[in-house]
Structure 1
């Protein structure tokens, strides 16, 4: 990987949207299935604010990402707007990272952790449109993973282990909605889960351990409000890597509720190390990123400072 600091030596910066051509990608399943209605509202209200809309949604997330990348490469956009949760933010990051095109997130999904970390309006379309119209942008970090991969970037968290297994289980269910679905998946998976042997190398320092999970955090929370790395910042040029070393199932159930307040970090089995480059090694594990199935481990990730310009509230 190239040196991340050299790619953006000026570090985080702020700016403004420079034009009115807006690409729009909407998750139709967001907001309890009302994503299309929200998309129609965004078209009306952004149009009334003077923006020209380019429709980029597709039948799949992959098709929408291809549409967005093509429009950006053909210089058709001044701004990309995505409406949904962390999965849609992940799509937007992969379209905009490394370009000058700002990303605006209308956070109306089940999990809106990246939006929360950035101080964006959550489940408030009117406030989101006002934020976009104001046009203030800020550059934030993103994680980039080595290899030939269709989605090499992540904005919030990359994780592998028990949490990824639970995420896969929760994604397969249509009910219940929200955090309850994740909690139910925890109860379903924990009795059959065993700690995983990992090797985690952070900035050249290698740790071999059996662990319940490993999280590479650019943002402080995931899973709809679980503050796994409560001190992580999206503009400091570093990951917060959280390792939950092997503990018993009863102890895990005792510690798990503390993640919502971030007080789990006081447990002796929790290790958080900050660094720019992470090599994660394990056998037979699929990592998730921003709530989406990502790729098999082993993988190597690096934080890229100022990789994405995001639209943020003016105040």
Structure 2
């Protein structure tokens, strides 16, 4: 009996790229001898139910076609299970694909990773019952996300650019209470980020150096700086050289509680909830397919 692989698609990922890519992946998998179960959720709730059904049925691999948001959804079903996560990148940011060195420009090459079946086990971060793979943002960046989500125009990256400009005009350093493995700190900062992996937002390496399998979270604090300095520091996030800034702080942790007024946290680009929140690492929680 051929090995079964479930293919879960977000048809709207990458402005419709998800649906097009899935049309290339499924026949390639069948040609390689797999029995393919093609799944498309009409919304996030249905997609999550489909993913959970795969785990209950003992499907060996759930491959998602989409971006970090689709991975985030799948992980809620797969965390701690024996079902492996496969990923064919078709989103905008694709940070998880970067983490795993997956091909991001060739659906055929990414499908070959699924066919090859090489496995790795990674950690996850957990907030309550919610898991994430990349970074939890709880500061200036989260406020930009919140503002952008309230805007109806324009669409795409320009909306976030405008939200960033608008937030910069009124933003003030945020008073935080941070408890890291039982040690409490109080300070003002521009942002706090809690990384399971090193980047978010399409390659912004805010938690530079974070490893997916070290059993630790990486907590980064950006202390108060001028708005001009914040704007100048932003491009450095793409190379991770912001770690040289004098207002940068880094703390390894297994558990961290973040409290601050008026901040809604985001992780994997998804809205998690208002602070205070507690984040804990869940070691070796997810089986993934890699090159």
Query: Is the TM-score greater than 0.5?
Result: yes
Question: Counterparts of 1:82 and 1:62 in 2: how far apart (Å)?
Answer: 15
Is 1:182–1:223's contact at 8 Å kept on the other side of the alignment?
no
State the 1:175 CA deviation.
Answer: 5.0
Runs of 5+ consecutive residues of structure 2 not aligned to the other structure: none
2:24 maps to which of 24, 30, 41: 41
| Residue 309 (structure 1) aligns with | 287
Q: Deviations over 1:186-232 (max 9, x none)?
A: 22321122222111111111111111111100111111111111111
Q: Deviations over 1:231-273 (max 9, x none)?
A: 1110111111011122221221122221111111111211111
Match status 1:21 vs 2:18: no
Question: Counterparts of 1:224 and 1:176 in 2: how far apart (Å)?
Answer: 17
Q: 1:173 to 1:89 in 2, by over 3 A?
A: farther
Match status 1:100 vs 2:82: yes
Question: Counterparts of 1:128 and 1:236 in 2: how far apart (Å)?
Answer: 26
Is 1:108–1:124's contact at 8 Å kept on the other side of the alignment?
no
Is 1:24–1:56's contact at 8 Å kept on the other side of the alignment?
yes
| Residue 169 (structure 2) aligns with | 191
Question: Counterparts of 1:82 and 1:203 in 2: how far apart (Å)?
Answer: 34
Q: How many residues align?
A: 290
State the 1:133 CA deviation.
Answer: 0.4
Match status 1:204 vs 2:186: no
| Residue 206 (structure 2) aligns with | 228
| Residue 295 (structure 1) aligns with | 273
State the 1:142 CA deviation.
Answer: 0.4
Q: Which moved more, 1:86-95 or 1:28-37?
A: 28-37
Root-mean-square deviation over aligned CA pairs: 1.9
Question: Counterparts of 1:81 and 1:47 in 2: how far apart (Å)?
Answer: 14
Q: Deviations over 1:37-67 (max 9, x none)?
A: 2122222111222222223321112220121
Q: 1:154 to 1:30 in 2, by over 3 A?
A: same
State the 1:183 CA deviation.
Answer: 3.9
Report the 3-state secondary structure (helix = DSSP H, G, I; strand = E; otherwise coil) of the residue aligned with 2:15: helix
Is 2:10–2:41's contact at 8 Å kept on the other side of the alignment?
no
Match status 1:243 vs 2:221: yes
Question: Counterparts of 2:93 and 2:71 in 1: how far apart (Å)?
Answer: 10
Runs of 5+ consecutive residues of structure 1 not aligned to the other structure: 1-18
State the 1:174 CA deviation.
Answer: 7.0
Report the 3-state secondary structure (helix = DSSP H, G, I; strand = E; otherwise coil) of the residue aligned with 1:56: strand
